Amino acid sequence: MTHSFDDALTLTVAEAAEGRVRYAGVTPQAYQNMIGPFGGVSAALLAQGMMRSARDGLKLVSITTDFMTGMKDGPYSLSTICHRAGRSTEFWAANIQQADASSPALRATAVFGERRETVEWTEGEMPDAPPPEACEAFVPPRPWAEHIAIRPCINADIFNATSTRNALWVKFTDARPLDDVALVCLADTPTPRVFFIVHGFTVLSTISMTVYLHASDADLAEAGSDWVMIEANAGRGGGGFYDQHARIWSRSGKLLATTQQMVWYKAEKV
Amino acid sequence: MTHSFDDALTLTVAEAAEGRVRYAGVTPQAYQNMIGPFGGVSAALLAQGMMRSARDGLKLVSITTDFMTGMKDGPYSLSTICHRAGRSTEFWAANIQQADASSPALRATAVFGERRETVEWTEGEMPDAPPPEACEAFVPPRPWAEHIAIRPCINADIFNATSTRNALWVKFTDARPLDDVALVCLADTPTPRVFFIVHGFTVLSTISMTVYLHASDADLAEAGSDWVMIEANAGRGGGGFYDQHARIWSRSGKLLATTQQMVWYKAEKV
């Protein structure tokens, strides 16, 4: 039996040419959010399409996904195109389009690169926090939250928060080894920052999310299907948009990915 | 006489249709870097093209620029296309292509939005540092550095750095009022993080840079053509790539923009 996340990412080649592939898929039901699939799964879908299109041996380094409109139930086309293939890098773009829609629902750009041995370093450390076993589950009332477990561990209570800086443990509910597509998906799990400001739930929508991938193969193997910690904070909110910045750590303290997003929100001035 | 930065961003409409505009330009000489124009100016050029193409009244919210290959001297085409126009948002893409090149040199995606009154907040504060008047100039030996003044103010000495977290004051050498394209340009001025690790200069190239714009019109007016402070840090370097995260503050302490980039580098393990 395949994992629900891999089921959601199922793509079939519909058409292929040099530097251009079109895949066919069906909007995944298991990971539904408010309107269409959970953002993390949508971004992972585009990542997956581009990873399959890119040259073997190149690794995903960076991906920016723009959420343009909702995805409806039913079939979709995921088109990928190579904008530049260099000796050790490739630049791909992708979008998801549905037959009756006037524009694509999502688009993404990604950079792939050859990983080489270089000087290496990490700045900062995973924050001190209680282990996931000691933290309570937070379950957003949406289908996707049955498949991704979330346990806030720092500044957990949005109703009494004094800052938007927080951290949570996350993993797939059913065990699944961590890889780059999973990191892209989990990057969208932090509780929206504006909830910590208005001390409650409010209407919002991520419009653009970028993920930078750092994990080596050894880091991913070590992380396995265990919990990862995501710490997040905002920069500034105002005029209808705010940014979120986050770092994803393995349980053993490796920095696996960094991610940021711009979010549209509605909460009015009090 | 126009400002050298506005000269560099000069674009002429070559072809226009609904949701698609092609501009003609000439590679700017004043802001040359190692290979082609300084990255900040190239990103500003793409921002400028998309801003001119987007619906009047919408503001630039987010832009991701990918540096795919160098720009040669001479004429170029800057093509913009609207991927989705909603009621209060537009999603544009752009690239810069030169006649004899096999692929575009640069590409970018941007999100534009209507600014509305919402609850607002900023997290953190501008770091304490000596004023620009008390700091020494750092002048990279490249033409662009004649037009953009840089004065490191925190952790200035890469040869004796104990961390990559640093800050610098920047502004256009000749006074020019701050606006969104200028913020996109200045976002690329921080001294490369890997210099603080290897304690010297080394080969590198930004491959992708995202800028989130936060400044209101009032913030920009207040900032005028004065110095802004950019504080920056890295996340993780390894396998040939590292990320940089930065915040741009007005002298009075307003958070004007946040920005991050993924950088390809070569420095080998010692």
Q: What pLDDT score does A269 carry?
A: 80
Cross-chain residue pair B267–A118, CB shorter than 8 Å: yes
pLDDT band at B1 (very low <50, low <70, confident <90, very high): confident
Residues 6+ apart with CB under 8 A from B44: B5, B8, B9, B181, B182, B184, B185
Grade residue B42 by pLDDT with cuts at 50, 70 and 90.
Answer: very high
Is the per-residue pLDDT at B267 higher than 90?
A: no
pLDDT cut 70: percent of chain B above it: 100
CA pair distance A207, A201, nearest whole angstrom = 18
CB-based contact A244:B214 (threshold 8 Å): no
pLDDT in tens, B113-159: 999 999 999 999 999 999 999 999 999 889 999 999 999 999 999 99
The answer to whether A12 and A23 are in contact (CB under 8 A) is yes
Q: Does the beta-carbon distance from B216 to A238 stay under 8 Å?
A: yes
pLDDT attached to residue B269: 80
Residues in chain B: 270
State whether residue B264 sits within 8 Å of chain A by CB: yes
Where residue B96 falls among pLDDT bands split at 50, 70, 90?
very high
Residue in chain A nearest B108 by alpha carbon: A109
Other Cβ atoms within 10 Å of A225 Cβ, number? 13
What length does chain A have? 270
Give yes or no for A268 touching B (CB within 8 A): yes
Query: How high is the pLDDT of residue A250?
Result: 98
Which residues lie across from B170 on neighbouring strands?
Answer: B150, B228
> Which residues in chain A (92-121) have CB-CB distances under 8 A to chain B?
93, 95, 103-104, 107, 109, 111, 113-121
Q: Which long-range contacts (C-beta less than 8 Å, at least 24 apart) are formed by A198-201?
A: A198/A267, A198/B119, A199/A158, A199/A159, A199/A160, A199/A161, A200/A158, A200/A159
Per-residue pLDDT, B162: 84
What kind and span of H or E run contains A51? helix A39-53
Q: Quick check: A172 and A191 in contact, CB under 8 A?
A: no
For position B34, what pLDDT does the model report?
85
Contact B71, B98 (CB under 8 A): yes
Q: Spell out the domains of chain A, with CATH numbers in brackets.
A: 4-113 (3.10.129.10), 137-265 (2.40.160.210)
pLDDT at A168: 97
Residue A268's pLDDT band (cuts 50, 70, 90): confident
pLDDT at A126 over 80: yes
pLDDT of residue A121: 96
pLDDT digits (tens, 9 = 90+) for A128-145: 999 999 999 999 889 999
pLDDT-derived band of residue A34, with 50, 70 and 90 as boundaries? confident
- pLDDT by residue (tens digit) across A155-197? 999 999 988 999 999 999 999 999 999 999 999 999 999 999 9
Mutate to test the interface with B, among A60, A126, A241, A247 (most CBs of B within 10 A): A241
- Report pLDDT for A162: 84
Chain B closest-CA separation from residue A4 CA (Å): 30
The pLDDT, as a whole number, for residue B263 is: 98
